Structure 1
């Protein structure tokens, strides 16, 4: 028995800002009959994650592509793998049965064939939360926010914390974790709507629209007259330079992403090295994969925070495989608030 699988691919490598014309929707036949010796699992995709780091995989060359399996280059014309949630349609493996809800490395399409050894985990259907949460607050975004803030930044109660791209999938969680710890928190975003969102809905102490600031260093000086202790960086570029200029002695910077540099190499950061040396500033990059050994512990705590109303999450959900390219492109135009997800099919 075969079914038709609609999926998204790129036509050619993308070395600048992504455009609709860079993508193509293809249809192929997928067999639901798996040989008895096969360990493949056929999954019907329900939700797929849309993340900016994929742009580095779509480039003809990027230094990130040889560092970790999640960052390998995407071949034009082939399926694009991404974290997703789905339901098992067929499996000969004893650990997965038809009907199981799963999360793992699926594809930007309607169906996925997951090979043995690929990331795939069963989900508890009785958690009582939307399945989409497993792509955001209960997924890699939540892991990056919690582990990146607490394990990399090593914050202390009362410290002054700055978060860039603070209304994004990770930033909006980091700010809340900082407030729960008792820190003073400021976020940078790209619109007044997002400023209001941070201050009124998430409880940030302050926020500013970086697009309306002619001097980012002065903007941060205004928000942090006593200096910055912790900077959670999702942006890189000029924002990193401005944050370093305003950091206190022994300040810490966790570099989670550098989205301002992904599509424009001319925006690469050049922080003042004398500040880094004399203020003894620590700048450390990290990946969510670095903290997979802590995932179960972090998930348990996060679930309790959400149940107790201490942690809020926001999702921006588009509908259908056809919406994936525009959803992805929107990340680089600042169109989303919260975690960007595409709903592929009904549960």
Structure 2
């Protein structure tokens, strides 16, 4: 509990008064004031206060009145060299006692000039408001390792089946017509081939030992064939989820070139990994690997969500696209090793070849196209 301060003249308790700069103590009877030195320096100009303390240091003469705080005798000093007003100072507590009206002779510090108010344009205010809304929405989703589920029901279903989902899709300026058309053609060709799959694969699949069969057309035809429904659905899922953003980023022509070159290079890498193999290779995953790689590099902070399951316990986890891509590359390297020793039928070498094209494409276009962050 704070000790009471007493008026040195009336010997009655002082009343505490809080101001914007600090606390002063006032006598209700004589209107005297006890003020700390630091508060005086914050409230009044140095020209008003410095001479007062200088006189106190020189110890002009003692006063008979006690300090309101410690009770020791105060020193009576001139308020200013040119002023006839004398005040009392306690050098121990650094309190200054002013009789009624004596503080009016001090010069107050000028108020700081108000900063000019900057009026932002309407578009800037809208952008700030939108950013705030997005920030609140991000907070509402929860932390990355305990996230709320996505808004779309189909994403929850895809994640339940073990597929990654896109939480924060980059804004699109155009419809992904090329992606939709390409997916439709692949689905049509693959489903049609399912009715006579073995014959179609033997005829139109890419055989490493015979790369120039059908005048090299198997580099193209193998792209549109798939080994089954799961193979087809998996590839189309990745194409549709990530391809639309890459198409919007690159434009239709560059996007087509990316997929075509990635598929071709992926086939070449697959052939190089087993040049004497007579097993046909089919699927669009080499080209799609180029799309996935470009997506991860162009939108590294986009959130990719996974549904982690442990019996009846479910938790959504969101990871940045660049981190998911690093994990994917790691597993592709393991898959390539398994493919090389003959324990995997998935062509991870084709995936790595397509990924290399995606990397080169991103490197060549990142300086000519503004980088878009999710």
Give me the TM-score of the superposition, normalised by structure 1.
0.19
Q: Which is greater in Rg?
A: 2
Higher relative contact order (CA 8 A, sep 6+): 1
Q: Which has the higher strand share?
A: 1
Q: Which has the higher helix share?
A: 2
